[in-house]
Each structure stands twice: as structure tokens, then as C-alpha cells.
Structure 1
Amino acid sequence: MRQTAVQIIEKLTQAGHTALLAGGCVRDMLLGREPKDYDVATSATPEQVIKLFPGAQTVGAHFGVVIVRLNHEHVEVATFRSDGSYSDGRRPDSVAYSTPELDAQRRDFTINGLFFDPLTDRVIDHVGGQVDLRMGLLRAIGVAKDRFEEDHLRMLRAVRFATVLGFDIEHATWESICGLAEKIKSVSIERIREEFVKTMLSPNRVRGFDLLVNSGLMAQFLPEILALQGCEQPPQFHPEGDVFIHTRLMLSLLPAEASLPLVMSVLLHDIAKPATQTRDADTGRIRFNGHDKLGAEMTGDILRRLKFPNDVIEPAVVAVENHMAFMNVQKMRTATLRRFMARPSFEDELALHRVDCLGSNGFTDNYDFLVAKKQEFASEPLLPPRILAGADLIALGWHSGKAMGRLLTTIQTLQLEGTLKSKEDALAWVSQHAPVPDVFESAEE
């Protein structure tokens, strides 16, 4: 993609225009990171760009943005501009074509306000971004408060950049975020979710979590997390502290690469503890009866409110609902255990259980047991094909219904436990233990 962007810059330059790489790609190049895309900023107007690149598509005419298609790549080409006022806290009401100097001034952070001329191998810095890159500092361009008043989403972008890059946030920039955090509510929940996800999927997610909480941003779109603070837990099981500390510790114990449903289930697995906390009148023992079931409901409500897709919501809800079941795995019958482990979300649930243990009492007996069982069961599917099907029972005179369903489940259980090993075994067992009910009994079922 860089080669394509350079080709575009060469053609624009040959036509008498100024053209430079701009923004995040320059930042990432200087940090030794591979840019996800390459953006070009130019003095050429959209009409001039389209004339040079027939077939280019204007996607932001109001903002002077054109998508150039070249070499099977799509590169965003934007005309240098200055922005007018931001009445909606998200987008400028008007723009005016301008110069590289003024274009840099309208951007969010100094490290994103850099240009690079690939034809002369020269960094062009009008905002002091190179110094901040070397210092590992995230600083708003100009007056921080003004930058965030213009576009409220920039506050979440600041948290994301500080998290992903491991940068500190400059004092005035941080103070402005804290002072304006409530205004993030004006941003669409989809954009909030997008920045939140990028932050929480970072290997440095705990830093992002802390920044969201301490800035006041978390309270605006996920206030349930703040309710975990000060929610005491039984010290014999949770010597680490309250539910908030426990949740934060679990986030820190996740592997660098973790699925989004796993991260969300860790974040929300104990979300119902404040609502279910009780103390025994005699012993003073703290309990959270039903927090797993209520937590699953709350998790679904929260993730739907944040407009997550179903392929994130459903496994996260299942994980929260079942996270307490892991304490019983060593007592489960073989068939029950196999079914438990065969569920689609089991691997993420097992990872949740692991950090739940490590983030509390440190006992991993059940986790170790399940890891051993995974190896033991590895030679065949956890749920092998049934040795007897409904058609086989119908051939014996059974009728479809609940009774036949229960019988099939019983046969599968005996199969999973090794009692029945073949279709012949199963038919013999049915003949001896499950005589065919008459039609009236089957209908009643």
C-alpha cells in the first residue's frame, strides 16, 4: 500500500501539486510500526485529484476527501484544509482548503499531525510531534480543551492511543479530558464502542481500563463498572480485595491476544455482585447468591446497549452465566463433563476460569483437572456421533416426542460413559430397559 501511496504522490507532484504522507502512517513509520493504511494530503482539490485519477471516488466532498483506486489498493487522498466551528461536537460545520501548516493545526494530537515526503525522505513537522514521539507523550495540538470541544470522540481516541502506544498523556491534555468527560455522551454509541474495543483488545488493556475509569469516561458509557468499587468480597476467597480490584487483576492476567467475548466476559463476569451482595446475620459472611444468572442478564443488556454484535454478546453471556459451574467439574459425571467441555465457547470460558482463580485465591485445581481431561479426551470428539438415532427408535415402534428425546439423551449418556459402545449394545439396552410405550402414552408426553 505504501508503494501505491508513493505512486499517487509522484503523479500529484509531477502535476505541480504538493503531496505528502499524513497522519497515523507517519507516526507509525517513525515508531517502527507497520501502518495499517497510508493517507495522502495534498494541495490539489478533489476535482484535480479525480482528473488525475479517473475512477476515483469522492467520499467526503464536504471535507475534500477522495478515495483513489490504484494497484488494487484504496488510498485516501485529502486536500489540505482548515476547519470551521464544530457545533455538534463531532464534525466541522465548514472547511476551507488551506496549507500544510494550517492542516496540521486542525488535527488532534501532535504525533498525528506529522507529514512525510517520501520523494525527499523528509519529515515535515509543524506541531512538535517528533519531540513528543521521542518522549512517548500524547499531547493535543494547540489548546487541548478546544480540540476536545471540537470533537468529543478525541477523548476516547486519546485513551486508545495512550494504551496502544504505551504513551503518557500530557498534563493539560489529561486535565481537559477529565473536565469534559461527560460530553462523550453526545457521540454515537457505535463510535464509543469502536474506540472502547480497540482499547480493551490491546495487550496493554489494563492501562486503558485505568485511564477510562480515572478520567471519568467509563462512568459515562459503562457506569456499572464503577459500582464494583468498594463491593467487598469474602477475604478467605478473595484476599486481593473488592470486586473492582479483582476484575482489574483478571484483566491484567489475560494473554496479550484475547478474543473480544473473553475480554468482555472478564470485564462483566461479576457485574451483578453489588446487586446480589448479602451478609449472614450471624457470621457476617458475604454472599452473592445468583450473581452468575443476574450477571448474564446484565451482560446481555450492557452489550446490547453498546450495540455489540450477537457473535460477541451470546458467548459473553454464556461465559458469565456458567463461570461458577467450574467449581463442580470434578464432581460431574463423564457424560455431563463431556457436554460441558463440548460447548462452542468452552475455550474462552476456561480462560475466564483460569484468570478468575489466579485473580483471587490462586487455586487452579479445577483448571488443571480440565486441562488434563482435554488431553484424555483428545483421541476422539468430545461428543462422538450418536450410536442410536431417532429413526432407529421409530423403527422399533417409538413415536417422536419428549419421551423419545429423553431416551436418546439417556442412550447418549451411557455412550459417553462407555457403558454402550455400539448400535447393537444400544438396541439391546433399549429392548431390556425401555419398552415401547403405547400411542396414548406417547401422545400424553
Structure 2
Amino acid sequence: MKDMSGAAQHLRHAKGLDPMVTAAKSGLPVDITKIPNVPVSEDDYSLARSQTSPVSPRSSEKYHALMDLLQKQHQKCLSVSQRFTLLGNVSEALKSEKLVEESMKYIEILKDAHAKGRPVPKCHTEERTFNSLKVHSSLSPNDLVLYIMRGINLLPPPGVSPNDLNASVKFEFPFPSSEEAQRDKTNTVKNTSSPEFNEQFKLYINRTHRGFKRVIQSKGIKFEILHKGGLFKTDKVVGSAQLKLEALENHSEIREIIDVMDGRKTTGGKLEVRVKIREPLSGVDLQPVTEKWLVLEPVPSLSSPEKPQEQATSPRSKPRHEAASRGGHSNSSPPVYRLYSFSLLNHDRERLERKLSEYRKNHQDPPPDLINQHKDVIHSLQWQKAQLERASPALLTEYENVLRRLVQGLSESVKKFSSQGNRDAAKDTLGRLKMVENELESLKRKRTG
């Protein structure tokens, strides 16, 4: 055997599944976040040489270029799927898993064609939109980075022409308190009313501090733009500005162009600033991302051209269709819904509706993927409500078991995030756990009362 370490890893994972299989057969709950991922080795991306039908050097170069692109595509989707699974976001994990399987199908098509000395498979790119987790991993949970980018058409004080404005920016972040506010200033940029500062400042935050929420919701960061006076002259105030920080509840980054004010009057000048934290205060930042997606076309068989699809399909691509029949739905079949937590479905519905509202408030069209997610949640709620309104005792028992399994899975996730030091994820998961526990207790009272 060429890859002994890979074989040993497969064996360890297989043995680790035995207790889960036994538990599932006995009707006990199984936490899907503990199911190991399929090990991926470099051999999965290697192109075997064909002794009988070798490809030309030019074709070999094209084959390897395609494999490099497919490898990056596959590994990216695999990473996203694993992160969603750890967060307990099953619907997003399944969507990413389908992309993982699709990428592996194209890899198998490429490997099979190369091994048989076939021409390089035809390919094209398509646009795919999917949700991605935005995390600034270089920052700690207690970091907030402020970027002061530039001033735009700043109004100079009386007696100073725009070309003689020597501008700098002071800021104040009132945390941990107004008395202990964090303050600093930029360097002075001379002789322009549209200065480029491009400076950054790392500030300290504490997400669990009682006063921090108040700063985020009502105070924000205050700025003062100054004109540096000459020799023996004091600095003059050009204007002030304030950046509100409420958006950090749902986003890890804010970029704003804010008005420079003179008291309550606008001066016409503006200040461009940016704020970045590791991840949103409320949990994860899901952002729709549209990317180019490489698609390979199946290679027709030379011996039986009437069956090209059978030649192109590999055993590794079969689970995709099986998974679709179990948990998803194809374009030609109706959607399949399963019992889930009403509390979590309503929580997801409210979260998605807040995001849709943000887009509409900014006069932007929401991404189609976000709209489809919202529709899926609404349809799931309607389907489940219709099922449980006329539910038999057996169906109510099944519903209760679903909630019990969710409680166990979420409990394990809370422990995992806590042991990893990921407080925000643990706090978010704990909130979801409490919702399901309350729903379970309510159901048990109704059934026994």
C-alpha cells in the first residue's frame, strides 16, 4: 500500500463510526457534528500516468492546470462545509456539501479521462452564489481596528484657502468609560482640502462588558477634524463627525462616508472611515458570495457513444444523488421537508428578514440566495404547522425525539466552542439551545396535560 498513513486515518474514522451506527440502530440520537470528515489526501488530486495511451505534453499541461483549479474549488467548499457543521447550521452545511461532491465528480471525470489518454475534457465557468462565513482571523475577539481613510472636500476655517488646509483627525472611543476613553490622532496632511490619511489604530473592546453594548448602541466613535496653525498659532477646528457602530451586531466590518458637521450644521465636507472586528457581536457574518465555478463536461465513451453519461459517472459521484433524494430536492421533484424546531425556524426567519430589511433600507436588491433561504424557511414553517395541527401520537413522539436530538447536539456544540475559547459561538449556540429546551418542555406539558 502506498499511503499507509492515509489508510490508518480511514481505519480510525471507520472505527469511530461504529458506536454512532450502533446508537442509530438502537434509536438513540447521534450528533452529526461529531461525524468525521472524509480524509482527503494529495492522491485524490493526482493524475495517474497512462502507459497504453499517454497524453501529449501540451495536453498534460492543460490537465494539470484544470486539476489545480478543481483542487482549490474542492478544498474551499470542504472548508466552508466543515465550519458550518461545527456551528450547527445544517442547511448551509448541506448546501456546501453538495458543492464538495460536485467538485469531486469533476475531479474524477478529469482523472478518468487522463488515465485513458482521452482529449482534455471540455469545460466552462458558471456563476455560483453561496453563503460564506466572514471572519477576520488575524484579529482577537477583543480587537477593534479603526481605519481613518481620507477627508473629502473639507471646509477650511475662515481665512484659510482650501489649498492651504493642513488637516489632521482626532478621535475618541468612549470605552471602557468616558473617563478612560481611548484617544489618538492622525498625522497632519498639508495643503489640501481632500487629505489622504490611510492610518489605522487598534483599539481594545470587551464583548462581555456591560458598558460595551451601550457604547455600540448609542455612542459610537467621535471625530474632530483640525487645521494645524502656523508658528505660535493654535489649531483650529474644521468640524466634527460621529460613526455609529450598531451595524457591528450583524457585520464584522463597517465602511462609511460620514458628514463633517459644524455644530448641527453640515459643512459639505465628509470623512471616510472603516471599522473591523473579528466577527459580529451577535455571532457569525453570513455573506452571499458570487464566484466563478469550473464545470467539466462528461467525456463521451469511444466504444459506446450512446452512453456517455455512464462512462463519465464515477462511484464517488453517486452519493450526491443519494443525498439529494434524502435531504434536498432536484429541479424535477417537489421539496422534501422534515420535522425541526419551531423556535429555530422562527429565529432563522427573523434573522433573514432583518437582512432583507437592511438591503431594502439601503435601496438594494437582496441576493437571490438570501430570498430563496427566506422562502425555504417560510415553507418549512407552513409545512410543519400543517403536519402538527392534525398530528397523530406517533408523529408527536417523532417531533419530541427530533427536539431531544437537537438539545443533545447543541449541548455538545456549546461544550466544544467553550473548550476552544470561542465565546461568541458558544453564546450564540447556548441561546439556540435554550430556545429548543423551552420548546421541548412546552411540548411535554401539552402532551401530559
Q: Is the helix fraction higher in 1 or 2?
A: 1
Greater relative contact order (Cα < 8 A, sep 6+): 2
- TM-score w.r.t. the length of structure 2 is 0.19
Q: Is the strand fraction higher in 1 or 2?
A: 2
- TM-score w.r.t. the length of structure 1 is 0.19
